[in-house]
Amino acid sequence: MLTHTHLSFLIALLIVLPGTPVVADTINVPGDQSTIQEGINAAVDGDTVLVAPGTYPENINFIGKKIFVTSHFALNQDTSFVRTTIIDGSSPSNSDSASCVLMISGEDSTSVLQGFTLTGGTGTRWTDEHGAGTYFEGGGILMTLSSPTIRNNIITGNEAVRAPGGVTSAGGGGIRCGDGSPLIINNIITGNSGLYGGGIVMNYASGIIRNNIITNNLAYKSGLTPSFGGGGIWILGDGTTTIVENNVIVGNSATGSGGQAGLGGGILNWETPMAARNNIVWGNTQTTGGPISIINSASTVVAYCDVEGGHEGEGNIDLEPALEAGTYLPADGSPCIDAGDTNAVYNDPEDPGNPGFAQYPSKGVLRNDMGAYGGPGRALIGSVPAAIEENTPKVKVPKAIGLGQNFPNPFNPSTTIKYELSENTEVKLKVYTVRGKEVSTLVDGAQGAGAHSAHWDGRDDLGRTLSSGVYLYRLQVGENIVTRKMILVK
């Protein structure tokens, strides 16, 4: 059995952080402190707060400390700990401070959040540092005037969509960073929503966004509240280059119209130097324009990316990426393997047992693989949570069934779902939240071959319209399951 002393020694060997003291303490949660916040409160710079698997109904604040807050993923890189160590921000003590994690007190790169699932956050009321008004920001993580490290997390089912009186708009469903330069690496950022920047907002910020899976996030317009687009990533910079490298940016959406609303289903870059390299940008949707929208930014480079519809730039391609469902790994034969930047600094790690060839999860030879599993910093991230997966470019609808896109979409409060069956069979059609909670059963029983439709009224038993955001509808016929997303907008 590992003692407190043994764990401290093991953590020191496994985790090396710039500026970390040689002697540091490990605070175990819930062993030494019952909550993550109590662990943070007890820590001093250089300490590790090591969190055991479980669900923690908390909204934590790093309070400026240069500490390592991690799940047991740190001990052996087992991604199952990421899924089973959950910070659930859905029950805040103050509704105006409802981000899962706050890093707003000058945290730097040695302030590290690693190995958690962050879910249920609805953002924090925040006054913009540049006089643009008051916003609800950062459903999963709110950072400002800070440059922390965010790595190996699943950030899912968060939103920044509230805009009551006196609030201009809301954004950064997964992450919002203002006036900082964070490291956002090796994360899954999926199923989050905002009125802009469904996945990530970088406001007067730079930093590095690298080796992430950014999928199924939504930026949408709600009523008269302004939306500024950017389904996956939204950037308004400080004049310093934002680096966006080796990410999978797939299946994100930007809806609405007017101004920036509906622009950039994958990336919206507004007046910002940006270097986007070795990314896969595919299957995103937007009201107008392409999946990468660049506004008044002559200093943007998009190179060696697979962009649906094409994009000007060296080495860019427009080819079906052939990604494996759930993991978003390039399937064997994918055109994204060995298609990234040819400069050796971007090479995939070499397989020690097979010189000249890339080490798994990279594939092919040493040349960079486009997407989250290419480049020197790639790591095994794990699968996107099953409850929010939908058809990736690789997945084909089984011949036995066909599931259409709901119409209208977005909708309020009702919509129709059409589907086809090739034979008489048992059918289940259900609606879920992006966090995997079942909302409604539309069909459960035997049906004949042919075309069918089901109607969903997005209201609860009291007749109240459900929360705005992304919902999933799933059709199951035998072992065949097809899932699509739909958008409820109040």
Tell me the CATH number at 454.
2.60.40.4070
In the predicted structure, residue 430 carries a pLDDT above the cut 70:
yes
Cβ atoms 366, 358 nearer than 8 A: yes
172, part of any domain = yes
For 452-478, what is the mean pLDDT? 84
Helix (H) or strand (E) holding 70: strand 68-71
Same-domain check for residues 349 and 473: no
Q: Final residue of a domain: which of 338, 355, 388?
A: 388
Q: What is the mean pLDDT of residues 269-281?
A: 95
Identify residue 132 by its one-letter amino acid code.
Answer: A
CA distance 438 to 166: 34
Residue 395, pLDDT > 70, answer: no
The reply to whether 80 falls in a domain is no
Residues 314 and 435 reside in one and the same domain? no
Query: 331: which 2 tokens?
Result: 């399937």
pLDDT confidence of residue 2: 43
Predicted local distance difference test score (pLDDT) of residue 264: 97
Among residues 388, 419, 451, which one ends one of the domains?
388
- What domain count does the chain have? 2
Mean of pLDDT over the chain: 89
| Structural domain includes residue 104 | yes
**What domain range is 329 assigned to?**
89-388
Contacts of 219 (CB under 8 A, 6+ apart): 171, 173, 193, 194, 195, 196, 197, 198, 227, 228, 229, 230, 231, 234, 252, 253, 254, 255
Residues 283 and 430 in one domain: no
Pair (381, 407) in one structural domain: no
Strand order in the sheet with 159-160: 159-160, 193-194, 218-219, 253-254, 285-286
pLDDT at 115: 98
Same domain, 411 and 316: no
Residue 384 and residue 410 in one domain = no
The whole-model pTM stands at 0.81
User: Where is mean pLDDT largest: 36-45, 435-444, 447-456?
Assistant: 36-45
Average pLDDT over residues 97-110: 98
Specify whether 361 is located in the same domain as 453: no
- Residue 419 confidence (pLDDT): 87
Predicted confidence at residue 17, as pLDDT, reads 46
Q: What is the pLDDT of residues 138-157, one digit of tens each?
A: 999 999 999 999 999 999 99
> What average pLDDT score do residues 438-449 get?
89
Q: Give CB contacts under 8 A, 24+ apart, made by 64-67.
A: 64/105, 64/106, 64/107, 65/40, 65/107, 65/111, 66/19, 66/107, 66/108, 66/110, 66/111, 67/40, 67/43, 67/110, 67/111, 67/112
The residue-averaged pLDDT of 127-135 equals 92
Does any domain span residue 25? no
Q: Verify that 359 and 415 share a domain, yes or no.
A: no
User: Tens digit of pLDDT for each residue in 44-98?
Assistant: 999 999 999 999 999 999 999 999 999 999 999 999 999 999 999 999 999 999 9
Same domain, 383 and 427: no
Residue 63 domain-assigned (yes or no):
no
- Is residue 35 within 8 A of residue 27, CB to CB? The reply is no
Q: Which of 388, 413, 442 finishes a domain? A: 388
| Statement: residue 173 has pLDDT above 90 | yes
Question: Residue 58: inside a domain, yes or no?
Answer: no
> What is the per-residue pLDDT for 283?
93
Examine the domain organization and report whether 423 and 473 are in the same domain. Answer: yes
Distance (Å) of CA 250 to CA 129, 281, 374 = 31, 6, 16
Asked if the structure places residue 83 within a domain, the reply is no
Confidence of residue 447 (pLDDT cuts 50, 70, 90): confident
* 209 in the same domain as 128: yes
pLDDT reported for residue 400: 52
Contact indicator for 87, 119 with CB cutoff of 8 Å? yes
Q: Do 405 and 349 belong to one domain?
A: no
Give the Cα separation of 399 and 392 in Å (integer).
17
Biggest CA–CA distance in the chain, Å, is 69
Position 399 pLDDT exceeds 80: no
Q: Would residue 171 count as lying in a domain?
A: yes
pLDDT at 478: 80
Confidence (pLDDT) at 141: 98
Q: For position 404, what pLDDT does the model report? A: 81
Bigger pLDDT: 359 vs 418: 359
Query: Averaging pLDDT over each range in 53-62, 324-333, 421-430, which range is the top one?
Result: 53-62
Higher pLDDT, 464 or 268: 268
Determine which of 88-92, 364-368, 389-393, 414-418 has the lowest per-residue pLDDT on average.
389-393
